[in-house]
Amino acid sequence: MSNNKLFRFAGWCALATVLLTLVVWGFYITAPTSSLILILGVLTMFVLTPVFYALYVFHRSESAGLSLVGLVLWVVAAVLQIVSLLAITNNFLYAIASLVFALPLLVFGFLAYRSTRMPRGLALVTLLTGIVWLILGAVSFNGTTTLAMVGGVASTLFMVVWLVWLWRLFTSGKLVTS
């Protein structure tokens, strides 16, 4: 698969992730005990994986080691998110999964910030998304469900902005790897 096809596919995966995320939140609000939340949550992690792989491919020419760390952190984060979905009542596991989920966002946000080929605004949104996920993880340790829910909404909003921006960037055909 050429890089252009990979980026285009990752862009559509980013948009699909936005749609899946909104559907999952709809189920959280209307039917919080639905088993579809688990199924759609797991599907979301799989659909989001090509986005992180495309970010790895894009950034590896500038920083092979750090981009690989970001990709490995994504795999760990996705697995932890899936496990936390399976054990939905385990607050400690959810907090750990949220903290680890922040790490690939912070790594790729840092790489995007350093890159001359990536929009600076996108880098800042990525970093901000990672910071919000870190805060969400820290708040979740406390066990305060209301505060964790507000953090979850904030992290989702930042993720949606980040993913829509990536969708536009990846599908524009303007990205090239050196």
Kindly report the three-state secondary structure assignment for every residue of 19-75: HHHHHHHHHHHHCCCCCHHHHHHHHHHHHHHHHHHHHHHHHCCCCHHHHHHHHHHHH
3-state helix, strand, coil in the chain (%, to 5): 85, 0, 15
Whole-number pLDDT of residue 87: 83
Q: What is the pLDDT of residues 138-147, one digit of tens each?
A: 888 776 666 6
Question: If you average pLDDT over residues 54-59, what whole number do you get?
Answer: 95
Mean pLDDT of 119-125: 93
Q: Where are the domains of the chain?
A: 3-171
Verdict on whether the full-model pTM lies above 0.75: yes
Contacts of the segment 139-145: beta carbons below 8 A, 24+ positions apart? 140/91, 140/94, 140/95, 140/98, 141/91, 141/92, 141/95, 143/91
